[in-house]
Amino acid sequence: MGQSRSPLDVADLERLAARGWRGAEEKHLGDWLLRAGGGFTGRANSALVVGDPGLPLPDAVDAVARWYADRGLRPCAMLPGRQSRAADAACAAAGWERPEDVLVLTAPLSASPDGPAPVGLSPEPDDAWLAGYRHGDGPLPPVAREVLTNAEDVVFASVRLDPEPAPLAAVARGVVTDGWLGVSAVTVDEPHRRRGLATAVMAALQRWAADRDARWVYLQVTASNAPARALYRRAGFIEHHRYHYRYAPA
């Protein structure tokens, strides 16, 4: 996989990625996209701050706060790249808190060979897949299935090494949007780590996406996740940009 520069800028890639991971409810505030998904994941429950909200920034921050508060959610903004600096400053002035950065990585699609284990692909996540996806502590909320499947061309990858009822060894989600594969939810069960399973599911998703004429891949990884960052670096991914969230005071 060669290290080529993405053909999309920050705003266009974020808009594309938003179509691959939607909230259950969405509304525009000018160019900004407000998304609500029952509190499941930051991406599905944050205002994507790209472009002009059509209001002075302090008023836009207030409008975002009201929209999320009306839905019983903690107000949150997702602020990608340099283009969001002014909005970030407005959020900071309102006392909104900032956690760590998230890196958006991209690479040209590579139809990699099979990995060390067979990977199953399904258009829907079954109960075993949902149990295998680690997001926070405890089981996924009921709204998770709606958020995960709310895309035009989505697939769920899984690796089973032990017979049921043993958990899946690895899972991941892929979505194709306008020639781009978005990879998310890559989870390897702890006893099966460092055996190439993350690479195997990535390869299976890329072969699936190649059949759909995808040419590029993107994914997101937190800045502190050193093992995942090393895995993706070895696979040829480079940093496209970063984003961070801002959360209204609890």
How sure is the predictor about 6, in pLDDT bands with cuts at 50, 70 and 90? confident
What is the structure's pLDDT at 155?
A: 98
pLDDT digit string, tens, across residues 87-102: 999 999 999 999 999 9
* Gap between the Cα atoms of 81 and 141, Å rounded: 30
Taken in order of first residue, the domains within the chain and their CATH numbers are 10-101 (no CATH), 110-214 (3.40.630.30)
Token digits of residue 111: 């139809």
User: Which has the closest alpha carbon to 44: 171, 187, 220?
Assistant: 220
Tell me the CA distances in angstroms from 120 to 20, 153, 156, 157, 159, one per residue in order: 21, 16, 8, 6, 6
Q: Is the pLDDT of residue 2 over 80?
A: no
* Gap between the Cα atoms of 103 and 74, Å rounded: 23
The position carrying tokens 């266009």 is 12
pLDDT digit string, tens, across residues 9-61: 999 999 999 999 999 999 999 999 999 999 999 999 999 999 999 999 999 99
CA 93 to centroid of chain Cα atoms? 27
What is the structure's pLDDT at 4?
A: 64
- State the CB neighbour count (10 A cutoff) for residue 69: 12
Q: Give the CA-trace dihedral at 73, 75, 81, 82, to 10 degrees.
A: 170
- Our CA angle for 42, 48, 51, nearest 5°, is 165
Token digits of residue 166: 């043993």
Q: Is the pLDDT of residue 247 over 80?
A: yes
DSSP string computed for 188-201: E-GGGTTSSHHHHH
Percent of the chain topping pLDDT 90: 87
What is the structure's pLDDT at 61?
A: 98
